[in-house]
Each structure stands twice: as structure tokens, then as C-alpha cells.
Structure 1
Amino acid sequence: MTTTPFPETREALSLSLQDAGFDMPVVEHLTAQARPAILLVTSGFGETEPPLGTSRLGGRPDLPPDMAWPTRPPYPDAEARAGYHRREAERLLADSGKPRSWMTPEQGERFSKEHRDKADAIESEFPLAFFGQFDLADLSQQPGFDLAFPDEGRLLVFYDFWEQPEDFTPAASVGWKVVWDKTPASDLVRAPFPAALTAISDDDWSSIFKPAHITGKTVLTPIPPNDKGWNAFPLDDDEALEDYHEWLSQFGTPDMQGRANHQFGGFPQTLQNGLQARSQLAANGIDCGSGDAWRTPEAQALLASANDWRLVLQIGVDAHTGMKPPGAYYVLMRDQDIAARNFDRARVTYQCD
């Protein structure tokens, strides 16, 4: 499917909205509300080694000499998580032996072992997969760089790609780590892959990604209707909302092949609703996996500030790294945590359509 690139100027964005038939007051509002972002376009390194400290997806992280590869502890709810995987292991093994099963007995044993291994990993310390590092000094040279972020050092994103922790429970937050590091590039050390990550990775599925070079390009990102700051027109105006979704669809989504799916700052291209709200509730200790949790007075009070959460990074499908569909990953932080440089309070959310 062919997609349209995001506009690079507010004039181009305004003309696109006018061409779609929106009234001028709505066009002016949406144009003013759009956020600049840096589109992260990837390319392969070939046989060359990436320079230390530079922006890239995948590969091996460049860490300070005294910093080990980030790991997570056992999940706080490890008993329940591991129990699920062990039950799945038994079910798959039993189903593979039934007549006309979609699995062969050999496949059943392999799939069952994967769940048993995952259960064991959940109950122990385990290394996080490396998604990428982002040179803020370099990105800050782009006109679309958000001045709320520091213009020095680099951000590194690690994530439990094997477990894919959900975004709605407080317990899931051990499953990722966002690091802001200001070590001079000349002092960095390229970390080797942990044996535990290598052991669970093969040609079909991997927690190890190939390195991909990043080139930044400034674009304007329109606000999605599910953003807590939406006020361009009432969301119960079904006709206008349908027209806006149709207009947005031309830009594609970050789970699509053949487009630039990664982004620093701006508005995200979400695949589900509730990105900010679930971040707000889970970060404040509320498991919002059930509808009842959302209706409590505590949750309602917290949701009033859900708009404080904004996109830091969006990481989607990428052919150069081997990040395959479905889905995309979103790094979110509250405005006040960005200002205080508390990157340890970031949340990483996985969404798939």
C-alpha cells in the first residue's frame, strides 16, 4: 500500500486539510495544533561497524565502561505470568497429539518448550532486548527537535521483547528501561550480546536486531482524535470524525512495510486508543485491565492529567533491523518528568491492530 509522507510545513498541512474539505476554522485549529517531529529514516550499515555513540536501531548498545547490559528482575507478578505460560505449554503439547491437529508432535514440543522457557525466565533476572540509541546532540540540529528534551547525550531503549509486557499493569514496568547517558562517545564500550538473548533467538524469531543507521527528517504530525488534547471538533460529530480518520489514513501506520515508521517527538500514529490514559493509571499504581478500575474516584482524578503524557519515541516495523509486524512500540513520558530529566519514569507500550 502506498502512503503519503507527512507534510513538512504548516502551509502544506493546511492545504492538505482544505483539499479534504474541512472548514477553515477546523483547518486553522488543526494546523496550529500539529507538532513538529523528527522522522527517523533507517538504512543498513552493510559490513561496516556503526561509529560509537551514533543514533541507530538495533545492533549492540554503546554503554559507559561501568554499565552492564540492562536486565529486569523477576516480574512482581511472576507466579501468575509463569503459571499462564506453563498451562499454555501443557495445552499445546496435548493439542499436538490430537487427530487433525494444526501442529505436528514435533511442533507441539517446540512451542511447548518455548512457553516453559519463558515461564522460567519470568521468574528470574533476564536481559532486556536493545531497541536502539538516539544521539540527542545530533537530533537537536533538526528544526523539528522538541526543546523540552536535552540536547546532549543519548537515549537508549531496552525492552522485554520476549514477554511483551502489557501497558495496563504497574507490574509490567520492570519490562523496559530507558537510559539517558551523557558519557563522551570516545569513552563508550560496545556491549556484547548476553548469552540468554542469543539462546532464545533464531532466524524465525529473535530478541536481537540488526543495526540500522538513522537519518533524521523534520515533519509535522497531526493530532490523532484519541489524544487527550483533542478539541478541533466534537468527537460525537460522526461525519467529521470519519472524514478526519480517512484523511489521516493516507499517512499510514507504523506497522506497515515500506514507510518510515520511527519518530522522535510529535504526535504518535497509534494502533489502539488509550495510550496516555493507561500510562497515567498504570504509572500511578492502578491496574487498569478491567473496566471497574477506570470508574473509581482515584482513577477519574488521575485521568484529568492524562494529557501530561507525550510521545518521546515511536519504533515500528523495520526491514533493516528485522523488526517484523505486527505492531509498534511507543515510549511515553510526562512533561514534568521530561523537564526533570527523569527518563527512568518513561513507559514503553506495545500496540498492535
Structure 2
Amino acid sequence: MNMFDTPAQAHQVIEERFAPDMVEMIASQLRPVVVFSVQDADRKGGSRIGGVPDLPKDTEWPRRPVPENTDEIAKRAGEPYDKELRAHLAGGLPYAFFAQVDLGEAAGLGEVASCLPSEGRLLFFYDMIAGPFDSGTQSAKVIWDRSPSDSLLQAAVPAELSDAAAAYRQMAEQTNKQYGLQPETRAPGAPQPGTSYGGPSRPMALKLALQLPVYSSLEFQASGRLEKTYSADRAVVGGSQKFSQAYGELSGEYYPGNQLLGAPVPVQDDPRYDAVVVSEYNTQFLSGEDWAKNRDKVIEKAKEWRLLLQVEVSDWMQDSAEGTVYFLIREKDLENRAFDRVVAVYQQT
């Protein structure tokens, strides 16, 4: 995904790709976002993707509660996977750990992170097995831990997760042998790839950047002249669609990545629509008829939500995988630090 370090850099790139009368229109839509930069050294309480969280002594790794609607969720996977998903949900396994964000480090970036607490850490957990079939609050757990960093210990991976990961790797190895497939070649020193139960530990530094909203985001739809120019370009039958294609490439429309705050980079529609549907209508999807009937209300309600964290699954696992997970929260819940109300949405092409 294209991100820019400075306004000057962004202007230069925009000027190289667009006519002079379009430059300010596009540049005016640049918005701050926090991105992750891989670091060599890890530190207690530091920002991290994958691995394990740093927790106070005797703090339990969170686990997913067994849902009351296990059968309903399992059926969404279809045969023959519904049986496996039903067993997974019934087991109440610990969540996979996705990321740890040092809030003090985020606060040091200035206004961009002013909506977050300025101390402690945000810990992001997700059920990568059932989550793709169950958008909502049950598939994710976000914890705001305010413990002093010197009281933290590196958590041990729960035995259930270790066992599940080992079984997954064994299954993958057997499948590769069955079909004569070779494991993906990895660079020397590259970490062992993860599984749906956890990704390799990678220390991160938080970095301020600028992003352009992608076409399917709420921010783009509210961009006025830019949205009209883009839509008009795409609507020309037989046209080159030069402007819309160039903007799509520049905004990183097809390359979602990892980011904290900012405008989400949807793989499909804006994930905040999904957050509204599961929260307001108590369903995973609206039918075409119901969407048409409730579209304006859903879009308006979506403005109450914001992206907290976005993680690309393949980057988290450091292996071939599909999809992006979005951790979303209402503005009022963020103000009240009600992180237990975070909704997780999974999208893939």
C-alpha cells in the first residue's frame, strides 16, 4: 500500500501522475495514519506483530467463550468444514495473538493518535479459525493493559494453541507430500511461518505516515470533487479510465496492509458497514432487498465507527494466506475506553 512520509513526498508523487489541475484536489485528501516498521530488537511492552503479548504475572491469556449459536456459525462454513468449525468453537480455545501496540509510543506521534489512551498497551487477539465466519465482538478480544512495563512478563503460548499449531503444520506437510508440493522457499534467517493459531514475533516501531482514501472507503465517498471526478471517469463507456486507474494504484486500493487508525483499506466494501450490520441488525449479512431498504441508514451509522487496527493475514503469518482483519470501534466506545465492544471483521477477495 502506498504511504507517504511527508506532504512534500506525497505532492511530488501526485504531480508525477496527474495533471496540474488535479494535484491539489488529490493532495487535499491526504490523511495521517500510523504504520508499522519492522525492527531488529524487541523490548518489553514494545509494539509487536505476532509472537506473544507481554502480560502482568498470573494474567491469563484470553480465550474465546463457547458461543450459544455454535451450529449457526458452523453452517456458514458449509460442508465439509462445518464439522471442524463446530468442534473448534466447542473447544473454547485461546485466541490467536495478533498485535501489541505501545500507546506511549503512539502518543509520541502527536495528534494522529490523540484518540487513544496515552499509556499502557493495546493487545489484539483474534479467532482466525472462526472469525472469517463470525464478524462481531466474540471473534476478537482487545485489552487495554495499563500495568507498568517493568511488571510485565513475556506470556507463554497456551499448550492448546501450540498443539493446534503443531497439528496444522503436520497436516500441511502431509498434504504437500500427497500432492508432491514443495514448501515455499524462504530467505536465510526468515522466521518459521505461522499458522492460524499464531504468527512469528516481529518487533515493530510505530511511524507517522500519510494515506489517500481508497474508492470503497467512507472517506473517499465524502471527498466531494475527487469522488465525482473518479466516478465520472469510470462511467465513460469505452474510455481509458486513466484517472481512476492511476488513483487506484496511488491509493493502494488492491494492497491492504497493517495500520493503526486512519481510513481502512477495504478488500471489499468499507468494513464499517459490516460493523453496523452485525451490531444493529444482529445478522452477518443483509439480503439485497434489505440492503437497498436500509442502505442510507447503514452508511450514516457507519460514520460512528472508526478503524482501530488493520492487519493483513499473510503478513501476520509470514506465509501465503488470504484476507485482512479489521478491528473496529464506535467513536463513543473509544472515548469511554470500552475496548470490549470492538467488532472484528474479516474480508478477502
TM over 0.5: yes
Specify the alignment match of 2:57 in structure 1: 65
Q: Relative to structure 2, which stretch is displaced further, 55-64 or 9-18?
A: 9-18
What are the residue-to-residue correspondences of 1:41-120 with 2, within 5 Å? 41-43=37-39, 50-83=42-75, 87-88=79-80, 116-120=83-87
Structure 2 letter corresponding to 1:214: M
Q: The residue matched to 1:132 in structure 2 has which SS?
A: strand
2-structure distance, mates of 1:219, 1:350: 24
- The 4+ residue runs of structure 1 with deviation greater than 6 A are none
- Give the secondary-structure state (helix, strand or coil) at the position aligned to 1:33: coil
CA distance in 2, matches of 1:29, 1:338: 31
Identify which of 219, 232, 244 aligns with 2:209.
Answer: 219
Q: 1:137: how far off?
A: 0.1
Cα distance, 1:75–1:254 mapped onto 2, change above 3 Å: farther
Q: How does 1:289-308 map to 2 (within 5 A)?
A: 289=285, 290-296=287-293, 300-308=296-304
Name the stretch that deviates more: 225-234 or 317-326.
317-326
- The answer (yes or no) to whether the contact 1:154–1:180 under 8 Å persists in 2 is yes
Q: Show CA shifts across 1:154-200 (max 9, x none).
A: 11110001223346x5xx42111111111111122322212221222
Contact in 2 for aligned 1:9/1:220 (Cα 8 Å)? yes
Aligned partner of 1:135: which letter? D
Matched residue, 1:146: 113
TM-score calculated relative to the size of structure 2: 0.78
Match of 1:287 in 2: 283
Task: Note if 1:129 corresponds to 2:125.
Answer: no
SS in 2 for 1:76: coil
Letter in 2 for 1:55: S
RMSD in angstroms over aligned alpha carbons?
2.9
Percent identical residues: 26
1:30–1:223 contact (8 Å) kept in structure 2:
no
Deviations 1:87-118 (A, max 9, x none): 406xxxxxxxxxxxxxxxxxxxxxxxxx6443
Q: Distance in 2 between matches of 1:265 and 1:117?
A: 34
How many matched pairs?
312
Secondary structure of the residue aligned to 1:271 is coil
Q: In structure 2, which of residues 123, 133, 147 is the aligned counterpart of residue 156 of structure 1?
A: 123
Measured at CA, do residues 76 and 20 of structure 1 come closer, stay the same or move farther in structure 2, by a change above 3 Å? farther
1:221 deviation in Å? 0.7
Give the letter for the 2:157 counterpart.
F
Q: Deviations over 1:187-234 (max 9, x none)?
A: 223222122212221334441221101022221011122222332332
Matched residue, 2:183: none
Matched to 1:11, the amino acid is A
Q: Which amino acid aligns with 1:287?
A: T
CA–CA separation in structure 1 for the residues paired with 2:119 and 2:325: 24
Contact kept in structure 1, 2:77 and 2:133, CA below 8 Å:
no
The residue number in structure 2 matching 1:200 is 164
Q: Secondary structure at the match of 2:132?
A: coil
Give the match's secondary structure for 2:333.
Answer: helix
Q: Pick from 307, 331, 340 the counterpart of residue 344 of structure 1.
A: 340
Task: Please say if residues 34 and 209 of structure 2, whose CA atoms lie closer than 8 Å, have aligned partners that are also in contact.
Answer: yes
CA distance in 1, matches of 2:217, 2:253: 16
